[in-house]
Copies of this chain bind each other. A is one copy, B any other.
Amino acid sequence: MLALACDIGGTNTRLGLVRDGILLSGSTGSYSNDDFEDFYAVAATFLHERDTQRVDSVCIALAAVATAEGATLTNRDWTIARDRVAAASGAGRVDFINDFEALGYAMGQVEKLKSQCLTPGRAHGRPGPRLVLGAGTGFNASAWCPSRFGAAPHVVAAECGHMTLPLAGEAEFSLQGALSAGRGRASVERALSGRGLFEIYQWQCAKAGRVPSVATAADVSRLAVTRADRDCEQAGHMFMRLLGRVCGDLALAYLPFSGVYLSGGVSRAFARSLSKDPTFLDAFRAKGRQADFMESFPVHLLLDDRTALHGCAEWLRLSAA
């Protein structure tokens, strides 16, 4: 059984070949969407480069809701029709899964993923669910749960980015006012996303009575981590504190005794701070009398660009069984 795994993002598309539910590590490739007219051209190029005429099935992970016909990317004018993918790849079956569901399925093959442990001394935890969550363009999470009855594991899909942003204390209430202005409320991803980080930075500058001098979220995180700008640094601290708190809240919702995995571009941009600065982990643990209980959950930062492809592979493995 040879299959094609695809992870279609807004900017890049990653592809890989999967045999019997395992991603062939030498087979993967990444392509800039701007270089192609449509997804079919990306897939054709990939298969041609891999000297592969046809595959048995295709699994596509993307940030979109799929219908019987296919899916349309939310952040790019690409429609991906199931029958055209089948025709171009020879596949008898074409499946679409949500991008975060793919990360959830990847938790079933976590030993294949590059990651960094943020809780040294407790890297492994005990048997139980795994939680993957991430801040990037938006925020979301997904939980992988081993079955209690020897059946296939289960992946819980979610829309955690739209949950209420949990805030406490005066400074954060002022931030809530800024983030909810004109919107009536502040959701989790209103703060925990690239755009959210930038709005936290703007709020921080306003609070300090300074004019923002930095133009992008990427710059804010870079200057925060290198401690080169005090407003960026303060904004970074607030971001990590809120990320830690939300991460802890979601750990209480899924009890991931087998590990919490942070994903997403903005989370990764804070890699150095997450491992050296206690802000994130302190907020993760700050659950009153449950602080000791929070130590049950090992926390890791995912560093693997191919996590969603491994998730497609695991999905193909489970759906073929």
Task: Give the most central of A156, A250, A252: most B CB within 10 Å.
Answer: A252
Choice from B143, B160, B253 contacting A160 with Cβ under 8 Å: B253
Q: Bits for A243-274, please: 1 = Cβ < 8 Å to B, else 0.
A: 00100011011110000000000000000000
A151 interface contact, C-beta 8 A: yes
Which residues in B have their C-beta under 8 angstroms from that of A176?
A: 168
Which residues in B have their C-beta under 8 angstroms from that of A151?
A: 147, 149, 151-152
Complex contact B163–A253 (CB within 8 A): yes
* Interfacial residues of chain A within 260-300, with CB under 8 A of chain B in the complex: 286-288, 290, 293
A216 interface contact, C-beta 8 A: no
* Interfacial residues of chain A within 124-176, with CB under 8 A of chain B in the complex: 129, 141, 143, 145, 147-149, 151-152, 154-160, 162-168, 173, 176
Instruction: Return A145 CB to nearest CB of chain B, in Å.
Output: 5
Instruction: Return A173 CB to nearest CB of chain B, in Å.
Output: 5
A318 interface contact, C-beta 8 A: yes
Complex contact A253–B250 (CB within 8 A): yes
| Assembled-state Cα–Cα distance A290/B163 (Å) | 10
Instruction: Return A36 CB to nearest CB of chain B, in Å.
Output: 31
| Assembled-state Cα–Cα distance A321/B287 (Å) | 39
| Assembled-state Cα–Cα distance A73/B293 (Å) | 19
How many copies of this chain does the complex contain? Answer: 2
Which residues in B have their C-beta under 8 angstroms from that of A160?
A: 252-253
Complex contact B154–A147 (CB within 8 A): yes
Instruction: Return A214 CB to nearest CB of chain B, in Å.
Output: 27
Task: Give the most central of A159, A165, A183, A250: most B CB within 10 Å.
Answer: A159
A319 interface contact, C-beta 8 A: yes
A186 interface contact, C-beta 8 A: yes
Instruction: Return A63 CB to nearest CB of chain B, in Å.
Output: 15
Known A-B contacts A145-B154, A149-B319, A151-B152; A185 and B168 likewise in contact (beta carbons under 8 Å): yes
Given contacts A148-B318, A160-B253, 5 further A-B contacts (CB under 8 A): A129-B156, A149-B151, A151-B151, A157-B255, A253-B253
Give the B-binding residues of A (Cβ under 8 A): 129, 141, 143, 145, 147-149, 151-152, 154-160, 162-168, 173, 176, 180, 183-187, 245, 249-250, 252-255, 286-288, 290, 293, 318-319, 321
Task: Please name the 3 residue pairs, one residue from A and one from B, whose CB atoms are nearest each other, closest first.
Answer: A151-B151, A164-B166, A154-B154
